[in-house]
Structure 1
Amino acid sequence: MLLQIHWDVNPTIFRLGPLAPRWYGLLFALGFLIGFYLMRHVFQREGKPEEDLDFLLFYLLGGTILGARLGHILFYAPGYYLSNPVEIPQIWEGGLASHGGLIGVVLAIWIYCQRREGQPFVWLLDRLAAPVALTGSFIRLGNFFNSEILGLPTDLPWGVVFERAARLRRGVEAVPLHPVQLYESICYALTFVLLWWLYQRWGADTPRGLLVGLFFALIFGVRIVLEVFKRQQIHFGTPLPLGMSMGQLLSIPAVAVGLWLVWRALRSTSISPETSSA
């Protein structure tokens, strides 16, 4: 007998006049908060000025939000937003693309590093890889609370019936679906564990580019695989190559860059426990 999990959680935590915090926003903020404390540990360990973290957080928040919003507009619905420009800043209505967020974060870090000595670009990308993976895990959990980014129907025992989505959206039936948001959240959390363990083991001796390379390869490799279980979010007029989704197509360059960074890091440095730093 199929055990159906029925999910019918209001994405708004509570309402108090105009105040209406949402689970997505809470989890998004929690990811950044935990990431901030992880980076404080990194800066303390490697003797970097902790006061720079406030500026770094500002750059990361700006890069993430602007990049994710512009990525959604450019990659998924340019025609719609050109016809409805007043909706472009309405991020509370949804519409943030992870690939755009990645580009925004990388650009923000590059700008930040131009103003800071002793914090090279790739060095900082390596140190941020684990916290960003953890934040991504929290964000996908937020998507689950929002009943968005839905999977395809499944007869597996952990299939989830998204009751709220079925009531509010056309084309969404009250049948068990793959909880792809949770699949991604778990995979990103495991990626965080691996990256943080590697950094804790080798610290400042971690080969330059290894952690961010693994981040790109694993995070976006997972994205390519799990897109198979997702409902198509946007219907494009022209089919994409090989029947791929936009998420898969955009992930391929990220995986390629990640594998190249890992190859370069391992080729240029010999890793051994004896070279680990305190």
Structure 2
Amino acid sequence: MIYPEIDPVALSVGPLKIHWYGLMYLVGMLGGWALARWRIRHGKSDWTAQQVDDLLFYCAVGVVLGGRLGYILFYGFNDWLADPTRIFRVWEGGMSFHGGFLGVLTAMWLYQRKHGKSFFELTDFIAPYITIGLFTGRIGNFINGELWGKPTDLPWAMQLRCSEFVSLCRDKLGLPPGTEWTPPLHPNQLYEALGEGLLLFILLWWFSSRPRPRMAVSALFLIGYGSFRFLIEFVRMPDVQLGYLAGGWLTMGQILSLPMILTGIIMMLLAYRQPLTHAEAHK
């Protein structure tokens, strides 16, 4: 298959350019907000619409700031030292899920201090909706033509024109000058959109639709995301500035995912050691 070269700019109005990557983040946030509102309208949650609206603002700030700072810290620190203004050029891509995740956790801590809800009540509530943003964010990566997988001969692999993706061809694939096409590559972004986005959403939506002890939904999110990400990293090309960190296969994404899996397992065990509260049993 040939990768459809998509203009990363969705709309230009004079000097203002609206990028697909940013729009995908907006669609993900609004999609999560709409689903949360749907659950409230159908009596599936004891939250109010106003609380959900406020939570959207906190999450949006946490995702954007945490995602960008996390990318600079985990994947692009040396580039940032060489050009500190790079941190503001979010339209060029470069967001870290793990950084965004820490940003959302910080936002939840601030929110619960103001509104009096417990921390895990918040994280259990938002866990299914985060996957909507994960799905749309990976579609944004695909549109940007970034985060490709390794060469493969699978029938759905994609080839890219080297004249459009010079950095990929030179730095990651090491192709000689003058090469017109890349070898067929895993469309890693679509794998992640399917696994971390769609499949994890279905799992969490089902799991959270029934009474669960506090922390259980959050724990399943950590286990699910960490596991999907760890496995998909085996076919994803490592970041060129980092390469493999050990054994010729271990990536930064896998290192950051392992603590999520372990923490999620511990949280799930702790959650099911406590009985359901009256409020949880009657959600």
TM-score (norm 1): 0.88
RMSD: 2.2
Deviation at 1:277, TM superposition (A): 4.0
Contact 1:5 1:158 in 2 (8 A): no
Partner of 2:245: 240
Unaligned runs of 5+ in 2: 170-180
Q: What is the rounded CA distance, in whole Å, between the counterparts of 2:246 and 2:90 in structure 1?
A: 30
The one-letter amino acid paired with 1:108 is A
Deviation at 1:92, TM superposition (A): 1.6
Identity within the alignment, %: 35
Contact 1:11 1:23 in 2 (8 A): yes
Partner of 1:190: 199
* Equivalent residues in 2 for 1:14-29, closer than 5 Å: 14-29=11-26
Deviation at 1:171, TM superposition (A): 4.2
Q: Over residues 118-163 of structure 1, what are the superposed CA-to-partner deviations in whole Å (9 max), with x where a residue is unaligned?
A: x211011011110001210111111111111011111000001233
Contact 1:166 1:174 in 2 (8 A): no
The one-letter amino acid paired with 1:35 is G
Question: Higher mean Cα deviation, 47-56 or 31-40?
Answer: 47-56
* Equivalent residues in 2 for 1:122-133, closer than 5 Å: 122-133=120-131
Deviation at 1:42, TM superposition (A): 4.2
Runs of 4+ in 1 over 6 A off after TM superposition: none
Of 169, 174, 183, which aligns to 1:175?
Answer: 183
* Equivalent residues in 2 for 1:120-269, closer than 5 Å: 120-163=118-161, 167-172=164-169, 173-187=181-195, 188-200=197-209, 202=210, 205-236=211-242, 240-243=245-248, 244-269=250-275
**How many residue pairs align between the two structures?**
266
The one-letter amino acid paired with 1:48 is W
Unaligned runs of 5+ in 1: none
SS at match of 2:183: coil
Contact 2:10 2:18 in 1 (8 A): yes
Contact 2:40 2:49 in 1 (8 A): yes
Question: Higher mean Cα deviation, 129-138 or 13-22?
Answer: 13-22
Q: Over residues 233-275 of structure 1, what are the superposed CA-to-partner deviations in whole Å (9 max), with x where a residue is unaligned?
A: 23338x62444111111111011111111222223247xxxx9
The one-letter amino acid paired with 1:216 is L
Of 1, 8, 25, which aligns to 1:11?
Answer: 8
The one-letter amino acid paired with 1:36 is W
Q: What is the rounded CA distance, in whole Å, between the counterparts of 1:65 and 1:264 in structure 2?
A: 31
Contact 1:76 1:234 in 2 (8 A): no
Contact 1:59 1:112 in 2 (8 A): yes
Deviation at 1:79, TM superposition (A): 2.2
Q: What is the rounded CA distance, in whole Å, between the counterparts of 1:217 and 1:25 in structure 2?
A: 27
